[in-house]
Amino acid sequence: MDLGIKGRAALVCAASKGLGRACAVSLAREGVRLTIVARTAGEIERAGREIAADTGATVTPIAADVTTAEGRSKVLAACPDPDILVTNAGGPPPGDFRNWTEADWLKAINANMLTPIALVKATVDGMIARAFGRIVNITSAAVKSPIPVLGLSNGARAGLTGFMAGLARETVRHNVTINNLLPGPFETDRLLRVMGVEAEKAGKGAAGYRREQAALNPAGRFGRPAEFGDACAYLCSAQAGFITGQNLMLDGGAFRSTF
């Protein structure tokens, strides 16, 4: 299926590895021109070279922290008019809410709620003027089904989801859609870190705990980042113009509900 976005410009945040990179790769395969961002210069430049070599796409890597105003200015200077925006940033650390300070909460709210809103604010009116836009926010399955050790994520992302739900209904008549992808457990560095903390809390070894958790998923495994990237590319497709304000769980069916 040709997704009809060849030649479009995409800004993909937090994309040197993991889920952001998978989204960038899937968009690059569709012939999208990419600007990709991460904080570590060497890593994002390497990712840019590898994605360009594998897909033939034009890739501009930018080393910046998207959670700061300066970082976002740098990114938007490189890609001022994206047709596609994938918001993403590192998730907050796991822990016990009794230990979290106000500063910890503000950091999580800034990274996982205010940063995507700022990026949307900077780009959505251009998309409306050009009558095409696809915005995908990478959030978390924890928005629907909270993970106790990730309380900072559960809270901050719920705020983002509420805001985007309203905006998505205003922009869709201009062919600008806004949707959220909710990852369950995907095989990334982040998953290894979070499972390490959970294993310790449960008094178990990390590798054994991971095997146990994978087996508990209805799919009997964790998700593969490429599966996530392809779902993102579909939501960014020309064909997906009637899908907006949705929260798509990619979790192997771990969240048990009838619909």
What is the SS3 assignment for 229?
helix
Count residues near ligand NAP (CB under 6 A): 31
Q: Copy the structure tokens of residue 75.
A: 């990114």
- The closest alpha carbon to 231, from 192, 153, 179, 174, belongs to 179
With contacts defined by CB under 6 A, name the span among 53-61, 89-97, 168-176, 230-238 that binds ligand NAP: 89-97
Among 26, 171, 177, 188, which residue sits at the site for ligand NAP (rule: CB under 6 A)? 188
Q: To the nearest whole angstrom, how small is the minimum distance from the Cβ of residue 237 to ligand NAP?
A: 21
Q: Copy the structure tokens of residue 5.
A: 């976005």
- Residue 199 CA to residue 152 CA, distance in Å, equals 19
Q: Are 124 and 134 in contact (CB under 8 A)?
A: no
With contacts defined by CB under 6 A, name the span among 15-23, 79-87, 166-174, 197-205 that binds ligand NAP: 15-23
Among 5, 9, 10, 14, which residue sits at the site for ligand NAP (rule: CB under 6 A)? 14
With contacts defined by CB under 6 A, name the span among 13-21, 124-132, 159-167, 204-212 that binds ligand NAP: 13-21
SS3 content of the chain, % helix, strand, coil (to 5): 55, 15, 30
Please identify which residue in the block is written with the tokens 């003027």. 129
Q: Give the number of other CB atoms < 10 A from CB of residue 100.
A: 17
Mark residues 113-142: x for contact with ligand NAP by CB under 6 A, - for none: -------------------------x-xx-
Q: To the nearest whole angstrom, how small is the minimum distance from the Cβ of residue 219 to ligand NAP?
A: 13
Helices (H), 63-130: 69-78, 102-109, 115-130
Confirm or reject binding of residue 73 to ligand NAP (CB under 6 A): no
Q: To the nearest whole angstrom, how small is the minimum distance from the Cβ of residue 158 to ligand NAP?
A: 13
Q: To the nearest whole angstrom, how small is the minimum distance from the Cβ of residue 6 to ligand NAP?
A: 25
130 φ/ψ angles, rounded to the nearest 5 degrees: -90, 0
Q: Given the complex with ligand NAP, which of 66 and 109 has the nearer CB atom? A: 66
Confirm or reject binding of residue 67 to ligand NAP (CB under 6 A): yes
Are β-strands 176-183 and 247-250 bridged in parallel, bridged antiparallel, or unpaired?
A: parallel
Site for ligand NAP in 29-48 (CB under 6 A): 37-40, 43
Q: Are 18 and 190 in contact (CB under 8 A)?
A: yes
Q: Copy the structure tokens of residue 79.
A: 């890609």
Among 9, 16, 120, 237, which residue sits at the site for ligand NAP (rule: CB under 6 A)? 16
Confirm or reject binding of residue 229 to ligand NAP (CB under 6 A): no
Confirm or reject binding of residue 86 to ligand NAP (CB under 6 A): no
**Which CA distances in Å does 87 have to 20, 127, 205?**
8, 15, 34
Using CB under 6 A, list all residues that contact ligand NAP. 13-20, 37-40, 43, 65-67, 88-91, 138, 140-141, 153, 183, 185-186, 188-191
